[in-house]
Amino acid sequence: MSTFRGSFLALFLGLSVGAVLAAACNSPTGCEGCVNERGVCLRGTQDSACGSFGEACVACGDGTVCMEGACAQAGPDAGTDLDAGTDAGTDLDAGTDLDAGTAPDAGTDVDAGTTTGFRLVPSTTTATLRDVAVVSPTEAYAVGFRGTVLRWNGTQWSAAGSPTSEDLYSVTLAEGGGWAVGAGGTFLTLTNGTWSVYGSSPTAALLTGVSAVSARSAMAVGKEGEQSQALVWDGSQWTKFATGAPHPYTTVSDVVMLADGTAFAAQDSMIMRWKDTDWEQLTTPTTTSLQGVWASSTKEVFAVGSSGVLMRWTSTSGRVMEQRAPFPFLHGVWGSSPRDVWAVGSGGVIMHWNGDGWTQVASPTTQELFGVSGTGPDDVWIVGAGGTLLHGP
């Protein structure tokens, strides 16, 4: 048995045992700890055992410390408000599963061209921002922990008046309105510039992704206990669907909808497509954990995740996957076109796809970056830990 296969088997067995030994590792309400290689649940506050929500423990590298279950940059900018939530996933080596070969070290492959103009923008919060949605150069919203909701008016970011203190993980805008979702089945709805709590939520799930294409069509994803869920909005109500078999380590992390109603999701290590009342598999499983997904059309989908993985699926060529050393954890992906796609993640890493390949772009921060959105190639917003807001390029 190869070293890789042996390590993977040990980790798989450790995760399974850990789920039995310590239910606290699966708590959806806080960073309760991680599962080590022997299946023991450890509190995720140690540099050598950092993690949360039942994920595998990771060791924080030089210059980073474990804060509430996530490795964060040491120093005054790290703050005490960083929590990677369900995104502190298993960082397994996907090297033997790469279809496109191992890419060169991203650390030396920094794009010095026209896509290097990201800058820090003043923020009114220190809360971790998990997602951002942009509809025009003068209107955008960012959401994050402790119910944080910020609004961009073309000049500055300011508090938008949040009606909740629950952690928010995703936001989407469409036709003058929008949705934000988060812990405890939280749905916020945006109407005439005001956010309010949506009536009676049909779920208590930790909702980690939401996407809308109109006032009558949206989808949210999350997990309640061991059951993954998809919730569909038809213009009058949210309908809940239990997806896949219940499993403690199966999670649908993110979702994107297209104008024709087609939806794609990042589920564990696979890209999935919504069909009728459940997901159908488009790509074969890998040893990575996908966290973000974006589609340019029904025939092309991008997904990113642990181990520096940048995955692309097309209806003609299937899956092509690259891995970037030194293995950043990529959280979010968004594009303005098939030739302009952005991915963001740990250590402030920013990656750009130009239609032919990925390059690393200069970043003004080392904070963990979670969400990215924009209106076009020259108007891109990125958000992250410590209230980080970046604009460019």
The predicted structure's pLDDT at residue 344:
97
- The rounded mean pLDDT for the chain is 80
Q: Which residues contact 29 (CB under 8 A, 6 or more apart)?
A: 183, 184
The predicted structure's pLDDT at residue 82:
30
3-state class (DSSP) for residue 4? helix
Q: Residue 47 — pLDDT band, cuts 50, 70, 90?
A: low
CA neighbor of 278 nearest in space, from 200, 206, 221? 221
Identify the weakest region by mean pLDDT among 146-160, 325-339, 366-380.
Answer: 325-339
Kindly state the percentage of the chain with pLDDT values over 70: 72
Query: How far apart are the C-alpha atoms of 163 and 198, rounded to whole Å?
Result: 10
89-137 pLDDT tens trace: 333 333 333 333 333 333 334 343 344 599 999 999 999 999 999 999 9
pTM: 0.74
Of the candidate CATH numbers 1.10.760.10, 2.130.10.10, 3.90.700.10, 3.30.70.20, the domain formed by 108-392 belongs to 2.130.10.10
Check residues 225 and 52 and name the one with the higher pLDDT.
225
- 3-state SS, one letter per residue, for 115-164: CCCCEECCCCCCCCEEEEEEEECCEEEEEEHHHCEEEECCCCEEECCCCC
Do the beta carbons of residue 193 and residue 39 sit within 8 Å? no
The predicted structure's pLDDT at residue 65:
66
* Residue 290 CB neighbours (<10 A): 28
The predicted structure's pLDDT at residue 73:
59
| β-strand pairing of 194-197 with 206-214 | unpaired
Annotated domain spans of the chain: 14-90, 108-392
59-88 pLDDT tens trace: 776 666 665 456 765 543 333 333 333 333
Check residues 114 and 308 and name the one with the higher pLDDT.
308
Asked if pLDDT for residue 53 goes beyond 80, the answer is: no
345-376 pLDDT tens trace: 999 999 999 999 999 999 999 999 999 999 99
The predicted structure's pLDDT at residue 87:
36
Rg (Cα) of the chain, in Å, rounded?
Answer: 19
